[in-house]
Amino acid sequence: MNLTSYIAVVINAICVGGVYGLTSSAWSFQVGSLRFANFAYGASLMVSMYLTYYGLREWNLPWAVIILMVLAVNFLLGLFMRKTVLNTNERGTQILCTTGFSLIMINLVTFICTAYPRNLSLVEKRLYLTPEISVGAIQLTCFVLAAIILFSFQLYLQKTWTGRAIRAVVQNRSVATLMGINSNVILDVAFAISYMMIGISGIMMMLMFQAEPIAGEYMQTIAFIVCVSAGLGSLSGAFYTGIIVAIVSASINFFIGSKFHDPLLFAIFVIILIVRPYGIFNSKKNVARTL
């Protein structure tokens, strides 16, 4: 253990944390801004990972086709969920229905693909910052793309008519309806777009990790920690907190060991909740409203 090794660990953790941040931002947008308690998030991410794997390894599709396929499937899946299991304002019903839908997807994937882990076995090129410090080219590319996608989504919310309509519905659905905005259609579109972000995250996760039916459950746990720590609804906050969580996670593994990883990570999460229950990047007056 030396300083150079730790710097290398932190740099790689930052790259992975950017993907964590994008993954968590979509869930934060759904739960904090749109007010949909979606607990099928992890399973949906897992499905995107499997689609990426099969598209590349089994079906030999070009990358452009794979990306379009994953985005289209997730857009339709988002619309389907919005019209069925999330067609209610009752949070308890939403949690139960999406949890059940998650179990259906996990078991269906296990039945079709088996529980055997899949990975792309990519040989990742290393970019050397110094003779002893390097970063994976795929990780760095995913980090940059995650930042660009999240920034573009925020611009979309601020600059386009549909984006302004989404913000209006989030802030006050009744007044938005009086202004001529079809709130239900806007919520459908917003939720489906957030599912496209899940699809992009799934592609990136498949490039860095392996896919298995329960892979999404771990990422849903990470997303929960990131979103609640950042403050529900804070998209940029979720991105920054994803990076922080990745650095903390890597530091625990580096200095203490993986067997203490989960207890320490959740202990830090509990401390954050006690000190700032409304989130690191939210204020008391702006809980679950930051777009």
pLDDT at 171: 85
DSSP class per residue in the chain: --HHHHHHHHHHHHHHHHHHHHHHHHHHIIIIIS------HHHHHHHHHHHHHIIIIIS---HHHHHHHHHHHHHHHHHHHHHTTT-SS-HHHHHHHHHHHHHHHHHHHHHHH-S--B-----PPEEESSSS-EEEHHHHHHHHHHHHHHHHHHHHHHHSHHHHHHHHHHH-HHHHHHTT--HHHHHHHHHHHHHHHHHHHHHHHHHHS-B-TTHHHHHHHHHHHHHHHH-TT-HHHHHHHHHHHHHHHHHHHHHT-GGGHHHHHHHHHHHHHHH-TT-TT--GGGTT---
pLDDT at 288: 40
Summarize pLDDT for 20-52 with one digit per residue, the tens.
Answer: 999 899 998 998 888 898 999 999 999 999 999
Q: What's the mean per-residue pLDDT of the chain?
A: 88
Q: Residue 161 CB: number of other CB atoms within 10 A?
A: 8
Q: Please, are residues 49 and 60 in contact by the beta-carbon 8 Å criterion?
A: no
Summarize pLDDT for 146-184 with one digit per residue, the tens.
Answer: 999 999 999 999 899 999 999 999 888 888 888 888 988
pLDDT at 285: 54
Summarize pLDDT for 88-120 with one digit per residue, the tens.
Answer: 888 888 999 999 999 999 999 999 999 899 988
Global pTM exceeds 0.95: no
Asked whether the predicted pLDDT for residue 218 surpasses 70, the reply is: yes
Compare 182 and 289 and report the one with higher pLDDT.
182
